[in-house]
Amino acid sequence: MSDKANDHDVIEELVVGHFDGTLTEAQEKELADALGTSAEAKQLFLSYMRMEGRLHSLGRDGFLREPAAECHQSTRQPADTLPAAERVPQRSRSWRSRVWTASTSLVVCCAVVLTWALWPSSVSAGSVLEKAQQAAAEMVDRTYRLVMSHPNAEGGPATRELTITVRGGGRFVVQPEHGAYVMGSDGTVYWMARRNGSVCVTGDFRTLAPELQQRIPNRRLLDGVLASPDEPLLLDISGLLLLIERRYDIELVDSGNPAERHVQATRRFGVRGGPSVINFHADAASGVVLKAELNFADSRQRTWTLIETPTLSGQWYHHSQHAPDRPIERVGAPE
Amino acid sequence: MDETPLIQQYLQLRSEFMGYLYAMTRDAELSEEVYQNAAVVVMEQSQKAETIRNFRAWAKEVVRRQALHAIRARAVSAKHARATSPELLEAVSDAFLQDDSEDTVVRDEARALKRCLDDLPEDKRELVAMRYESNSSFDEISEHTDSTPAAVQRALSRVRKMLHGCVQRRMQLAEGAS
């Protein structure tokens, strides 16, 4: 190997080590010197730095897993996914392990046979989720009541209520109980109208953030807006179901009502942010989500309840129907 | 001068800034917090009449100051047994501030990375997801993979190098083709 290639490898080791947090003081000094004296080292560091930033951004938005990594899959990897030399010693897994595996297999087989015999055929948590997603994508109007509760300073529950009407194709209208604003999307643009104020219209939901920030000075809301460009504040059932598909393990729970399916979604190991448990109930025949409960680790709770299925015109999701004759401010990216 | 709203310009630079913040703090959550704090500064700036000639350079300085402030404020916890040396932090900041990579290069890199991720074997992609999606530590990942923290760290280092090499090769191929 040439000296140049060798230098490159040494610097690369230091750069990778820095992002892993494994460098010693002497190695940190070596890297700092290289960054100060070598243009090549600097470029290498910068390209790694950009890659790290992208990986964190992609990870945060849930785009790192294979689309095939679906709800049922456990995130546990088989031991052979790492090179053999790096595995934890497996020698203790001898005949006892095999006996245990055989016994477990037998029990699992019995359980499967029993479940198959007692449970209605072809219903699984995955199929319920899939059906619910198809129903949520329909061009049908559905109005939900969303109750958000969190512990107040005295420890009691404080609640807020919103009414959300959704239709497939990304259409939604959010009407808070206090009526201070109304916001929504007609499937092409997002908009928000303050009471007696102008209407902000944008093609990019994230650019509503400054407007929302002024209106509702709440960091959590801003975080939510910036974090979820494709799932605005989780304000629609499709976004909620997509979140479950990407980040939760799901299981079917006996609802005691043959007309309903109950699925419990538990946040996958290691996934941070979002509700820790989501329970949703869907109509067995249509797949329409009738109720969803989102429970957060800090005792916050959001409950969605389907209250009606009105028949609305497509135009109803346009801002002109909710804030007519108001001045329009276009913000952010062109629609 | 770019007429795009400042917050939108800021969001477009997210990956670059997050990379720098992670290089400085090596803490994904703290990086996110600093990024959000800097976003508030950007939004406050939007309300002012003052014109910014070079937004990228201005925003980099905002991010750098916020990062240094956060690092100073951060208590040394078990997770950060030894703080990064000030000398290296300064060298990283200098490299970040002086970086004038063209937008097209940055965009091409992003595109190439997505392709390279798609080409990654499933097990390696899962490892990357565990590290970057969940911000799991090597210890946490090792518990999940029946491995050791050191083995996870080495496996991730290899995947990073593999991805970086793949991105560079794709960039060179694209350059050669144009």
- Say whether pLDDT at B128 is over 70: yes
- Say whether pLDDT at A24 is over 60: yes
Whole-angstrom Cα distance, residue B112 to residue A138? 35
User: Buried b vs exposed e over B141-176: b needs ≥16 C-beta within 10 Å?
Assistant: bbbbbbbbeebbbbbbbebbbebbebbeebbeeeee
Whole-angstrom Cα distance, residue B145 to residue A86? 11
**Residue B92 touches chain A, beta carbons under 8 Å:** yes
Residue B161 has its nearest CB partner, among A12, A29, A213, at A12
CB atoms B88 and A21 under 8 Å: no
Whole-angstrom Cα distance, residue A234 to residue B35? 22
- Say whether pLDDT at B42 is over 80: yes
**B64, B96, B134: best mutation site toward chain A, by most A Cβ within 10 Å?**
B134
**Residue A12 touches chain B, beta carbons under 8 Å:** yes
For B100, residues 6+ apart whose C-beta sits below 8 A from its C-beta are none
- Say whether pLDDT at A104 is over 50: no
CB atoms B130 and A81 under 8 Å: no
- Say whether pLDDT at A63 is over 50: yes
Q: Per-residue DSSP letters for A158-205?
A: EEEEEEEEEETTTEEEEEETT-SEEEEEESS-EEEEETTS-EEEESSG
- Say whether pLDDT at A182 is over 70: yes
Question: Which pLDDT band, with edges at 50, 70 and 90, does A150 fall under?
Answer: low
CB atoms B19 and A50 under 8 Å: yes
For A272, residues 6+ apart whose C-beta sits below 8 A from its C-beta are B134, B135
- Say whether pLDDT at A86 is over 70: no
Binding-face residues of B in 49-78 toward A, CB within 8 A: none
Please report the pLDDT score of residue B40 as a whole number: 84
**Residue A5 touches chain B, beta carbons under 8 Å:** no
CATH code at B103-177: 1.10.10.10
| pLDDT tens by residue, A89-98 | 333 333 333 4
What integer is the mean pLDDT of A258-262? 92
Average pLDDT over chain A reads: 72
- Say whether pLDDT at A225 is over 70: no
Maximum CA pair distance of chain A?
A: 79
**A11, A56, A90: best mutation site toward chain B, by most B Cβ within 10 Å?**
A56
CB atoms A64 and B110 under 8 Å: no
Minimal CA separation from B176 to chain A, in Å:
19
Please report the pLDDT score of residue A46 as a whole number: 94
Please report the pLDDT score of residue A264 as a whole number: 95
What integer is the mean pLDDT of B156-160? 93
| pLDDT tens by residue, B134-143 | 778 888 888 8
Whole-angstrom Cα distance, residue A233 to residue A103? 47
Please report the pLDDT score of residue B20 as a whole number: 94
- Say whether pLDDT at A169 is over 70: no
Question: Which pLDDT band, with edges at 50, 70 and 90, does B159 fall under?
Answer: very high
Please report the pLDDT score of residue A107 as a whole number: 47
Please report the pLDDT score of residue A82 as a whole number: 36
3-state secondary structure of A216: coil
- Say whether pLDDT at B165 is over 90: yes
Indicate the range of A51-65, A157-171, B88-102 predicted with least confidence: A157-171
Question: Which pLDDT band, with edges at 50, 70 and 90, does A218 fall under?
Answer: very low
Maximum CA pair distance of chain B?
A: 58
- In the DSSP assignment, the letter for residue B47 is T
Domain coordinates of chain A in residue numbers? 3-60, 125-330
Binding-face residues of A in 255-274 toward B, CB within 8 A: 268-272
CB atoms B17 and A53 under 8 Å: yes
pTM over 0.80: no
- Say whether pLDDT at B62 is over 70: yes
Average pLDDT over chain B reads: 85
Please report the pLDDT score of residue A91 as a whole number: 32
**Residue B22 touches chain A, beta carbons under 8 Å:** yes
Binding-face residues of A in 123-182 toward B, CB within 8 A: none
Please report the pLDDT score of residue A253 as a whole number: 92
- In the DSSP assignment, the letter for residue A264 is E
Minimal CA separation from B88 to chain A, in Å:
5
Residue B125 has its nearest CB partner, among A56, A64, A213, at A64
Please report the pLDDT score of residue B172 as a whole number: 84
Q: Which CATH superfamily is domain A125-330 in?
A: Lipoprotein localisation LolA/LolB/LppX (2.50.20.10)
Residue B101 has its nearest CB partner, among A46, A53, A54, at A46
Question: Which pLDDT band, with edges at 50, 70 and 90, does A75 fall under?
Answer: very low
Domain coordinates of chain B in residue numbers? 6-98, 103-177
CB atoms A31 and B91 under 8 Å: yes
User: Buried b vs exposed e over A234-271: b needs ≥16 C-beta within 10 Å?
Assistant: bbbbbbbbbbbbbbbbbebeeeeeeeebbbbbbbbebb
Between the alpha carbon of residue A180 and those of residues A165, A195, B59, B93, the distances in Å are 17, 5, 33, 44
- Percent of chain A predicted with pLDDT > 90: 22
Whole-angstrom Cα distance, residue A216 to residue B40? 14
Indicate the range of A211-215, A234-238, B174-178 predicted with least confidence: A211-215
pLDDT greater at residue A233 or residue B158: B158
- Percent of chain A predicted with pLDDT > 70: 64
